[in-house]
Amino acid sequence: MSAEMKGPGIFWVGSSIAASSRDILDEETFLRWYDEDHIPEIVRTSGVDSGFRYVDVEKGSPAAPKPFLAFYPIEDMAFTQGAEFKNIGYKSDILPGTGVVFDLVDFNIRNFGVVGKTEAKAKKEPAQFILVSTIEPVSEASDDEVNEFYDEQTAAISKASNYLRTIRLKVLDARTNAQSSDLKGLPTTNEPAPAPAPAPELAAEPPIWQAVHEFSSEPAAGIKDSIRGSSNQVLKRAKQKELHVYKLAKALGSGRFFE
């Protein structure tokens, strides 16, 4: 899956410590690599000035196979195709063993283009929580039908007093650990073999559409229930659907998210 990389978008990375690395890499060390090494390097580039790290509120449960989220708003996604971005480091003295992050961590990497956004309600700082609604509609569903579905979803949850804003996204491309390693000129033998029946988060083709709903405090459980219980046929017929709530752990750089 690939679309032209241009215009405003988000470099979106979900991750988990690889099962084969859990005896040498602990969560504290992994997150120190993110906060002290990797995210600062990215926000120092000429095309990125903000980085955000969130953690799935269901971390530790099967519902959160990739509980660590980092994302970076980018004004022009063409920047991700240039040498400066592609030369961002993948090896660190903070990390154990080879120090190569792809040997230690499983990533889901997606590049999204911004489709639209609502006006922020009194937003003065990064959202403390985000509710991320992602779907891969059936091929027969039109973009207009998908946008209508997300319009309905946003209208319903925006009534919550802690709701701030929604940014709607459409995937431009996605890659695996092996593809990321290949971009860096690294061997790809550490890519795990696919499971016979992969879960949606591990499917070869990632969900195409995503809405990032921002909240000043944790959204009530009823909001997630209302999204899951929607009668909209786009959701009911979707080939994949994901719903996650993340809590802000760290914001670096300017802290701007398309404000």
The per-residue pLDDT for range 155-180, each reduced to its tens digit, is 999 999 999 999 999 999 997 665 56
The proportion of the chain whose per-residue pLDDT surpasses 70, expressed as a percent, equals: 88
Is pLDDT at 187 greater than 80 in this prediction? no
pLDDT at 182 (0 to 100): 59
Q: Which residue has the tokens 């269901």?
A: 58
Give a yes or no: residue 258 inside a domain: no
HSE-CB of 198 using CA atoms within 13 angstroms: 13
Residue 231 CB partners (closer than 8 Å, separation 6+): none
pLDDT at 14 (0 to 100): 97
Residue 72 CB partners (closer than 8 Å, separation 6+): 10, 11, 42, 43, 48, 50, 51, 52
Give a yes or no: residue 201 inside a domain: yes
pLDDT at 179 (0 to 100): 58
CB 20 within 8 A of CB 95: no
Look at the chain and report how many structural domains it folds into. Answer: 1
Name which residue leads in pLDDT, 52 or 198. Answer: 52
The pTM of the full predicted model, rounded to 2 decimals, is 0.90
Give a yes or no: residue 259 inside a domain: no
Residue 77 CB partners (closer than 8 Å, separation 6+): 5, 6, 7, 8, 9, 111, 113, 172
Nearest to 128 by CA among 12, 251, 247, 255: 247
The CATH number of the domain holding residue 148 is 3.30.70.100
Give a yes or no: residue 229 inside a domain: yes
Between the alpha carbon of residue 138 and those of residues 58, 71, 146, 240, the distances in Å are 28, 27, 10, 9
pLDDT at 178 (0 to 100): 59
pLDDT at 105 (0 to 100): 96
Give a yes or no: residue 200 inside a domain: yes
Is pLDDT at 202 greater than 50 in this prediction? no
Average pLDDT of span 18-44: 98
